[in-house]
């Protein structure tokens, strides 16, 4: 039997606050790491890779059944999502 994300949230509410902190901690290297290969591969190529990995992670979120999976997802999403802010040349493009 599959457990929905809402059931995980209601069962483990204290872990949810921890997951937000983990997501923000993953965003620190997520802002540094994508800019390094962007100098050699191009910002468009690295940006497309980050968009695809974020999309895959969003679809993977539907299959998570345990809190440990949510923590791993928070780390991986924190690594890939901030790349949009880093790879833009104009701050007005970020939104």
In contact, 37 and 88? CB cutoff 8 Å: no
Q: Is residue 27 within a helix (H) or strand (E), and if so which, with residue range?
A: helix 13-32
In contact, 54 and 80? CB cutoff 8 Å: yes
| pLDDT in the model for residue 9 | 58
> Could you list the pLDDT tens digit for every one of the 95 residues in the chain?
456 666 655 665 666 677 788 888 888 888 888 888 888 998 889 889 988 999 999 999 888 888 788 889 889 998 888 887 777 777 676 65
| pLDDT in the model for residue 8 | 59
| pLDDT in the model for residue 7 | 64
| pLDDT in the model for residue 57 | 92
| pLDDT in the model for residue 56 | 94
Rounded to an integer, what distance in angstroms lies between the CA atom of residue 9 and that of residue 88? 34
First to last CA, the chain: 40
């Amino acid at each position: 039997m599959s457990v929905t994300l809402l059931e995980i949230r209601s069962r483990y509410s204290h872990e949810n606050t921890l997951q937000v902190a983990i997501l923000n901690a993953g965003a620190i290297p997520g802002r540094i790491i994508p800019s390094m290969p962007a100098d050699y591969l191009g910002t468009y190529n690295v940006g497309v890779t980050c968009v695809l990995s974020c999309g895959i992670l969003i679809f993977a979120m539907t299959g998570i059944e345990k809190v440990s999976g949510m923590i791993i997802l928070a780390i991986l999403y924190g690594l890939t999502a901030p790349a949009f802010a880093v790879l833009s040349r104009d701050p007005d493009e970020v939104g």
